[in-house]
Protein backbone atom coordinates (compact mmCIF):
# COMPACT_ATOMS: atom_id res chain seq x y z
CA UNK A 1 0.00 0.00 0.00
CA UNK A 2 1.48 3.34 -1.10
CA UNK A 3 0.95 5.66 1.86
CA UNK A 4 2.96 8.39 0.12
CA UNK A 5 -0.14 9.27 -1.95
CA UNK A 6 -1.61 10.75 1.23
CA UNK A 7 1.16 13.36 1.54
CA UNK A 8 -0.04 15.94 -1.04
CA UNK A 9 -3.60 16.06 0.30
CA UNK A 10 -2.21 16.22 3.85
CA UNK A 11 -0.17 19.32 2.96
CA UNK A 12 -3.02 20.98 1.06
CA UNK A 13 -5.63 20.27 3.75
CA UNK A 14 -3.24 21.39 6.47
CA UNK A 15 -2.71 24.77 4.82
CA UNK A 16 -6.35 25.32 3.87
CA UNK A 17 -7.48 23.96 7.23
CA UNK A 18 -5.31 26.42 9.14
CA UNK A 19 -6.86 29.27 7.13
CA UNK A 20 -10.33 28.06 8.09
CA UNK A 21 -9.17 27.56 11.70
CA UNK A 22 -8.00 31.19 11.82
CA UNK A 23 -11.43 32.39 10.72
CA UNK A 24 -13.12 30.15 13.33
CA UNK A 25 -10.75 31.34 16.06
CA UNK A 26 -11.25 35.01 15.20
CA UNK A 27 -15.04 34.59 15.22
CA UNK A 28 -15.00 32.81 18.59
CA UNK A 29 -12.75 35.52 20.06
CA UNK A 30 -15.02 38.27 18.76
CA UNK A 31 -18.12 36.57 20.13
CA UNK A 32 -16.44 36.26 23.52
CA UNK A 33 -15.43 39.91 23.45
CA UNK A 34 -18.97 40.94 22.54
CA UNK A 35 -20.35 38.69 25.30
CA UNK A 36 -22.23 36.65 22.70
CA UNK A 37 -20.73 33.24 23.49
CA UNK A 38 -24.25 31.84 23.28
CA UNK A 39 -23.68 31.84 19.50
CA UNK A 40 -20.69 29.48 19.76
CA UNK A 41 -22.82 26.42 18.85
CA UNK A 42 -23.60 28.11 15.53
CA UNK A 43 -19.84 28.33 14.86
CA UNK A 44 -19.30 24.65 15.61
CA UNK A 45 -22.34 23.75 13.52
CA UNK A 46 -20.89 25.72 10.59
CA UNK A 47 -17.61 23.81 10.86
CA UNK A 48 -19.34 20.41 11.01
CA UNK A 49 -21.72 21.12 8.13
CA UNK A 50 -18.87 22.59 6.05
CA UNK A 51 -16.79 19.42 6.46
CA UNK A 52 -19.78 17.23 5.58
CA UNK A 53 -20.60 19.33 2.49
CA UNK A 54 -16.97 19.19 1.31
CA UNK A 55 -16.93 15.40 1.76
CA UNK A 56 -20.20 15.04 -0.16
CA UNK A 57 -18.83 17.15 -3.00
CA UNK A 58 -15.77 14.90 -3.14
CA UNK A 59 -17.91 11.76 -3.22
CA UNK A 60 -20.07 13.32 -5.95
CA UNK A 61 -17.09 14.23 -8.12
CA UNK A 62 -15.52 10.79 -7.76
CA UNK A 63 -18.85 9.14 -8.54
CA UNK A 64 -19.32 11.28 -11.66
CA UNK A 65 -15.87 10.29 -12.92
CA UNK A 66 -16.53 6.59 -12.40
CA UNK A 67 -20.04 6.82 -13.89
CA UNK A 68 -18.90 8.62 -17.03
CA UNK A 69 -16.07 6.14 -17.41
CA UNK A 70 -18.44 3.16 -17.19
CA UNK A 71 -21.07 4.42 -19.66
CA UNK A 72 -19.15 2.98 -22.58
CA UNK A 73 -16.63 0.38 -21.35
CA UNK A 74 -14.93 0.48 -24.74
CA UNK A 75 -13.73 4.02 -24.07
CA UNK A 76 -13.13 3.75 -20.31
CA UNK A 77 -9.37 3.92 -20.88
CA UNK A 78 -9.94 7.20 -22.73
CA UNK A 79 -12.65 8.87 -20.62
CA UNK A 80 -11.08 8.31 -17.19
CA UNK A 81 -7.69 9.90 -17.95
CA UNK A 82 -9.42 12.81 -19.72
CA UNK A 83 -11.60 13.43 -16.66
CA UNK A 84 -8.56 13.15 -14.39
CA UNK A 85 -6.79 15.67 -16.60
CA UNK A 86 -9.75 18.07 -16.50
CA UNK A 87 -10.07 17.86 -12.71
CA UNK A 88 -6.31 18.33 -12.45
CA UNK A 89 -6.55 21.54 -14.48
CA UNK A 90 -9.41 22.77 -12.29
CA UNK A 91 -7.38 21.99 -9.17
CA UNK A 92 -4.35 23.80 -10.62
CA UNK A 93 -6.40 26.92 -11.36
CA UNK A 94 -8.23 26.94 -8.02
CA UNK A 95 -5.19 26.22 -5.84
CA UNK A 96 -3.02 28.77 -7.67
CA UNK A 97 -5.66 31.49 -7.57
CA UNK A 98 -6.53 30.93 -3.91
CA UNK A 99 -2.84 30.83 -2.94
CA UNK A 100 -2.08 34.21 -4.51
CA UNK A 101 -5.41 35.78 -3.51
CA UNK A 102 -5.16 34.67 0.11
CA UNK A 103 -1.56 35.87 0.32
CA UNK A 104 -2.68 39.34 -0.77
CA UNK A 105 -5.77 39.32 1.48
CA UNK A 106 -4.14 37.80 4.57
CA UNK A 107 -3.34 41.14 6.20
CA UNK A 108 -7.00 42.18 5.85
CA UNK A 109 -8.48 38.86 7.06
CA UNK A 110 -9.11 39.92 10.65
CA UNK A 111 -10.76 43.20 9.64
CA UNK A 112 -12.98 41.44 7.10
CA UNK A 113 -14.07 38.79 9.59
CA UNK A 114 -14.71 41.44 12.25
CA UNK A 115 -16.91 43.35 9.82
CA UNK A 116 -18.89 40.25 8.91
CA UNK A 117 -19.42 39.26 12.55
CA UNK A 118 -20.41 42.81 13.55
CA UNK A 119 -22.95 42.89 10.74
CA UNK A 120 -24.33 39.51 11.82
CA UNK A 121 -24.67 40.62 15.45
CA UNK A 122 -26.65 43.72 14.47
CA UNK A 123 -29.34 41.41 13.11
CA UNK A 124 -30.55 40.06 16.45
CA UNK A 125 -33.09 37.62 15.05
CA UNK A 126 -30.71 36.16 12.45
CA UNK A 127 -27.38 36.56 14.24
CA UNK A 128 -26.93 32.80 14.61
CA UNK A 129 -27.57 32.14 10.95
CA UNK A 130 -25.21 34.96 9.98
CA UNK A 131 -22.37 33.47 12.02
CA UNK A 132 -23.22 29.98 10.75
CA UNK A 133 -23.13 31.06 7.08
CA UNK A 134 -19.81 32.90 7.58
CA UNK A 135 -18.15 29.78 9.00
CA UNK A 136 -19.81 27.47 6.47
CA UNK A 137 -18.54 29.49 3.50
CA UNK A 138 -15.02 29.64 4.97
CA UNK A 139 -14.84 25.87 5.53
CA UNK A 140 -16.42 24.86 2.20
CA UNK A 141 -14.20 27.29 0.29
CA UNK A 142 -11.07 25.70 1.72
CA UNK A 143 -12.48 22.17 1.48
CA UNK A 144 -13.46 22.53 -2.17
CA UNK A 145 -9.84 22.97 -3.24
CA UNK A 146 -8.84 19.74 -1.50
CA UNK A 147 -11.84 17.97 -3.02
CA UNK A 148 -10.70 18.96 -6.52
CA UNK A 149 -7.20 17.66 -5.83
CA UNK A 150 -8.53 14.34 -4.49
CA UNK A 151 -10.92 14.01 -7.45
CA UNK A 152 -8.03 14.53 -9.85
CA UNK A 153 -6.28 11.54 -8.26
CA UNK A 154 -9.28 9.32 -7.61
CA UNK A 155 -7.59 6.16 -8.92
CA UNK A 156 -5.21 6.25 -5.96
CA UNK A 157 -8.03 5.01 -3.69
CA UNK A 158 -8.85 6.18 -0.18
CA UNK A 159 -5.33 7.15 0.86
CA UNK A 160 -5.59 10.75 -0.43
CA UNK A 161 -8.78 11.09 1.62
CA UNK A 162 -6.96 9.78 4.70
CA UNK A 163 -4.23 12.35 4.08
CA UNK A 164 -6.91 15.04 3.95
CA UNK A 165 -8.34 13.88 7.30
CA UNK A 166 -4.85 13.93 8.81
CA UNK A 167 -4.23 17.46 7.58
CA UNK A 168 -7.59 18.54 8.94
CA UNK A 169 -6.80 17.04 12.34
CA UNK A 170 -3.43 18.83 12.53
CA UNK A 171 -5.03 22.11 11.41
CA UNK A 172 -7.67 21.79 14.12
CA UNK A 173 -4.93 21.10 16.69
CA UNK A 174 -3.06 24.23 15.59
CA UNK A 175 -6.27 26.23 15.92
CA UNK A 176 -6.72 24.99 19.51
CA UNK A 177 -3.08 25.77 20.33
CA UNK A 178 -3.44 29.30 18.96
CA UNK A 179 -6.78 30.38 20.37
CA UNK A 180 -7.45 28.06 23.32
CA UNK A 181 -4.04 27.63 24.90
CA UNK A 182 -2.43 30.83 23.64
CA UNK A 183 0.59 29.10 22.09
CA UNK A 184 2.52 31.52 19.87
CA UNK A 185 3.10 30.33 16.31
CA UNK A 186 4.57 32.47 13.54
CA UNK A 187 1.59 32.22 11.19
CA UNK A 188 3.20 34.41 8.54
CA UNK A 189 6.25 32.14 8.21
CA UNK A 190 4.03 29.06 8.32
CA UNK A 191 1.94 30.25 5.39
CA UNK A 192 4.99 31.36 3.43
CA UNK A 193 6.63 27.95 3.82
CA UNK A 194 3.40 26.10 3.04
CA UNK A 195 2.86 28.38 0.05
CA UNK A 196 6.21 27.40 -1.48
CA UNK A 197 5.44 23.74 -0.80
CA UNK A 198 2.01 24.13 -2.40
CA UNK A 199 3.49 25.71 -5.54
CA UNK A 200 5.82 22.72 -5.94
CA UNK A 201 2.91 20.30 -5.42
CA UNK A 202 0.71 22.07 -7.98
CA UNK A 203 3.63 22.25 -10.43
CA UNK A 204 3.84 18.47 -10.15
CA UNK A 205 0.11 18.36 -10.83
CA UNK A 206 0.80 20.13 -14.14
CA UNK A 207 3.09 17.24 -15.12
CA UNK A 208 0.47 14.70 -14.07
CA UNK A 209 -2.34 16.49 -15.93
CA UNK A 210 -0.36 16.47 -19.17
CA UNK A 211 0.37 12.77 -18.65
CA UNK A 212 -3.36 12.06 -18.24
CA UNK A 213 -4.17 13.76 -21.55
CA UNK A 214 -1.33 11.92 -23.26
CA UNK A 215 -2.61 8.59 -21.92
CA UNK A 216 -6.11 9.40 -23.20
CA UNK A 217 -4.85 10.33 -26.65
CA UNK A 218 -2.70 7.21 -26.85
CA UNK A 219 -5.65 4.98 -25.88
CA UNK A 220 -7.92 6.75 -28.36
CA UNK A 221 -5.35 6.36 -31.10
CA UNK A 222 -5.07 2.63 -30.46
CA UNK A 223 -8.83 2.10 -30.25
CA UNK A 224 -9.60 4.09 -33.38
CA UNK A 225 -6.57 2.89 -35.35
CA UNK A 226 -5.86 6.46 -36.29
CA UNK A 227 -2.62 7.01 -34.44
CA UNK A 228 -1.06 8.95 -37.30
CA UNK A 229 -3.85 11.53 -37.15
CA UNK A 230 -4.22 11.77 -33.37
CA UNK A 231 -0.62 11.60 -32.15
CA UNK A 232 2.27 13.85 -32.97
CA UNK A 233 5.41 11.87 -33.61
CA UNK A 234 8.94 13.09 -33.22
CA UNK A 235 11.11 10.61 -35.10
CA UNK A 236 13.27 13.47 -36.34
CA UNK A 237 14.25 14.30 -32.77
CA UNK A 238 14.50 10.96 -31.00
CA UNK A 239 13.25 7.40 -31.18
CA UNK A 240 11.89 7.63 -27.61
CA UNK A 241 8.87 9.90 -27.63
CA UNK A 242 5.30 10.25 -26.39
CA UNK A 243 1.99 10.64 -28.19
CA UNK A 244 1.56 14.39 -27.65
CA UNK A 245 4.30 15.24 -25.14
CA UNK A 246 7.20 15.17 -27.56
CA UNK A 247 10.64 13.65 -27.17
CA UNK A 248 11.85 12.41 -23.81
CA UNK A 249 13.95 14.85 -21.77
CA UNK A 250 15.27 12.46 -19.17
CA UNK A 251 15.01 8.82 -18.22
CA UNK A 252 16.08 8.09 -14.64
CA UNK A 253 14.43 4.68 -14.25
CA UNK A 254 17.76 3.07 -13.36
CA UNK A 255 18.94 5.87 -11.07
CA UNK A 256 15.78 7.03 -9.27
CA UNK A 257 12.69 5.00 -10.28
CA UNK A 258 9.38 6.62 -9.36
CA UNK A 259 7.91 3.34 -8.08
CA UNK A 260 10.54 2.78 -5.37
CA UNK A 261 11.66 4.79 -2.35
CA UNK A 262 12.56 7.67 -2.37
CA UNK A 263 11.31 8.29 -5.91
CA UNK A 264 7.78 7.24 -4.96
CA UNK A 265 7.70 9.96 -2.27
CA UNK A 266 8.87 12.59 -4.75
CA UNK A 267 6.29 11.37 -7.26
CA UNK A 268 3.39 11.56 -4.84
CA UNK A 269 4.37 14.89 -3.35
CA UNK A 270 5.96 16.85 -6.21
CA UNK A 271 4.86 14.97 -9.34
CA UNK A 272 8.33 13.53 -10.02
CA UNK A 273 8.48 11.10 -12.91
CA UNK A 274 11.42 9.01 -14.04
CA UNK A 275 10.37 9.64 -17.65
CA UNK A 276 9.86 13.32 -18.37
CA UNK A 277 8.90 14.57 -21.83
CA UNK A 278 9.49 17.93 -23.48
CA UNK A 279 5.97 19.36 -23.16
CA UNK A 280 5.84 18.34 -19.49
CA UNK A 281 9.18 20.03 -18.80
CA UNK A 282 8.06 23.23 -20.52
CA UNK A 283 4.71 23.23 -18.69
CA UNK A 284 6.44 22.68 -15.35
CA UNK A 285 8.91 25.53 -15.88
CA UNK A 286 6.25 27.92 -17.22
CA UNK A 287 4.07 27.27 -14.16
CA UNK A 288 6.93 27.77 -11.70
CA UNK A 289 8.11 30.96 -13.39
CA UNK A 290 4.64 32.50 -13.74
CA UNK A 291 2.75 31.45 -10.59
CA UNK A 292 5.93 31.34 -8.50
CA UNK A 293 6.85 34.91 -9.45
CA UNK A 294 3.29 36.13 -8.74
CA UNK A 295 3.36 34.45 -5.35
CA UNK A 296 6.68 35.96 -4.32
CA UNK A 297 5.56 39.36 -5.60
CA UNK A 298 2.47 39.13 -3.40
CA UNK A 299 4.69 38.27 -0.41
CA UNK A 300 7.12 41.11 -1.08
CA UNK A 301 4.23 43.46 -1.75
CA UNK A 302 2.82 42.72 1.68
CA UNK A 303 6.20 43.31 3.32
CA UNK A 304 6.77 46.62 1.49
CA UNK A 305 3.26 47.78 2.40
CA UNK A 306 3.98 46.96 6.05
CA UNK A 307 7.24 48.89 5.90
CA UNK A 308 5.44 51.94 4.48
CA UNK A 309 3.08 51.95 7.44
CA UNK A 310 5.95 52.07 9.96
CA UNK A 311 6.29 55.67 11.25
CA UNK A 312 9.67 57.32 10.68
CA UNK A 313 11.13 58.71 13.92
CA UNK A 314 11.61 62.45 13.94
CA UNK A 315 15.01 63.90 14.75
pLDDT at 155: 59
In 3D space, the residue among 267, 294, 282 whose CA is nearest the CA of residue 98 turns out to be 294
Give the number of other Cβ atoms within 10 Å of residue 133's Cβ.
15
pLDDT tens digits, 244-293: 888 888 899 999 998 888 888 888 888 899 999 999 999 999 999 999 99
pLDDT at 9: 84
Are 171 and 21 within 8 A, CB to CB? yes
Distances (CA, A) of 99 to 27, 233, 300, 313: 22, 37, 14, 35
Distances (CA, A) of 287 to 67, 207, 252, 275: 32, 10, 23, 19
pLDDT at 315: 37
- Whole-prediction pTM: 0.81
Distances (CA, A) of 14 to 151, 237, 287: 18, 44, 23
pLDDT at 282: 96
pLDDT at 310: 44
In 3D space, the residue among 229, 234, 287 whose CA is nearest the CA of residue 95 turns out to be 287
In 3D space, the residue among 82, 88, 64, 41 whose CA is nearest the CA of residue 203 turns out to be 88
- Between CA 61 and CA 55 the distance in angstroms is 10
Going 39 to 41 to 42 to 43, the CA torsion angle's sign is positive
Taking 50 as the pLDDT cut, the residues of the chain under it are 227, 309-315
Give the number of other Cβ atoms within 10 Å of residue 247's Cβ.
17
Amino acid sequence: MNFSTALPTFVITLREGVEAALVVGIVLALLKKAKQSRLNPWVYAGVAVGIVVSALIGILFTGVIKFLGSINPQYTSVVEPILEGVFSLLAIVMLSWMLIWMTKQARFMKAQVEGAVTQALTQNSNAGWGVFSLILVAVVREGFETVLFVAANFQQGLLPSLGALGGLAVAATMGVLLFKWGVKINIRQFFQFMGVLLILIVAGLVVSALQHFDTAMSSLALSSRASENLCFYYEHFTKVHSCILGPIVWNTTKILPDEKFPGIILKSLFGYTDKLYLVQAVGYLVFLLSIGSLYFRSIMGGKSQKQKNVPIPQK
